[in-house]
Amino acid sequence: MREDNLPLLKRIVDGYMGRVSGLREHCERCLRSERWGGSVVLMIVDAAFTSIGLNYFTAVVPKVEEFSRRFVETGRLTRLRDLAVADVEELRSIWRNRRSWMVAKGVASYLSTLGGDDRDALRSWARSSSLENWRDDPVGKVKGVGLVTFQYLRMMGGVDTVMPDKIVKRVINGILLEAGLKPVEDDLEFVRMMEWLAKACGYRPIELCWMTWLVQPEGKRMRMEKYSAILPKI
């Protein structure tokens, strides 16, 4: 990345970030592991549902809310150890995709062995995890957990990083092209580049990541505006 491109890059990034004011509080909540009211079970279920690539706000969020009403708020599945041993067929009455539940149960099973409360377990794992060794990580080894899901879980565990999903890559690579730079396709290289880009432009990596999701238009409105009522929860 050429240093002489930085002023233009920063102007472009600043333009995007200026459209998502209020973003910082959502990122802070994520880094404090306080999404979904601090329920690690719901964070894991969110990540597992998100892993199959459906629309986050219209498909994933309503189903996580339904899971919460039926299982968490009733006291049936409040801890990771409960999710680890939950009956898949019963869970599929909410979300049909078996692979998602195997991801959720596999991650919950490992994290529940780390001791302490669920939040401590998630944050302890995230601190000890690394991007470079993700395939050898106990969470990375869970069948169905790819790099995007791995990074998402690390972010919710307090690591300031990014997910190399298709939306993030499309927006950020578009910014690079606008600045006369080459897009980055390799996922690991993309994460490293984005962490550098964020810091070089005066932002945190997680802020750039969330920006790419919330700046997307749905209909005539930007997601940040359209889903403003549910953002404080998630």
* Cα distance between residue 219 and residue 215, in whole Å: 12
Residues 121 and 43 in one domain: yes
Least confident interval from 52-56, 68-72, 202-206, 208-212: 52-56
Task: Say which CATH number the domain at 122 has.
Answer: 1.10.340
Q: Which pLDDT tens digit goes with each residue over 50-61?
A: 999 888 999 999
The predicted structure's pLDDT at residue 226: 85
Domain boundary among 156, 182, 198: 156
| Inside any domain, residue 233 | no
Q: What is the extent of the structural domain holding 193?
A: 3-28+162-226
State pTM to two decimals.
Answer: 0.95
The predicted structure's pLDDT at residue 53: 87
User: Count of domains in the chain?
Assistant: 2
4 pLDDT above the threshold of 90 = no
Burial per residue of 207-228, b for 16 or more beta-carbon CB atoms within 10 angstroms, e otherwise: bbbbbbbbbbeeeeebbbebbe
Residues 152 and 77 in one domain: yes
List the beta bridge partners of residue 222: 217
Contact 205, 159 (CB under 8 A): no
Domain boundary among 135, 156, 177: 156
Q: What is the mean pLDDT of the chain?
A: 94
The predicted structure's pLDDT at residue 114: 97
Contact 172, 194 (CB under 8 A): yes
Residues 51 and 14 in one domain: no
* Cα distance between residue 156 and residue 159, in whole Å: 7
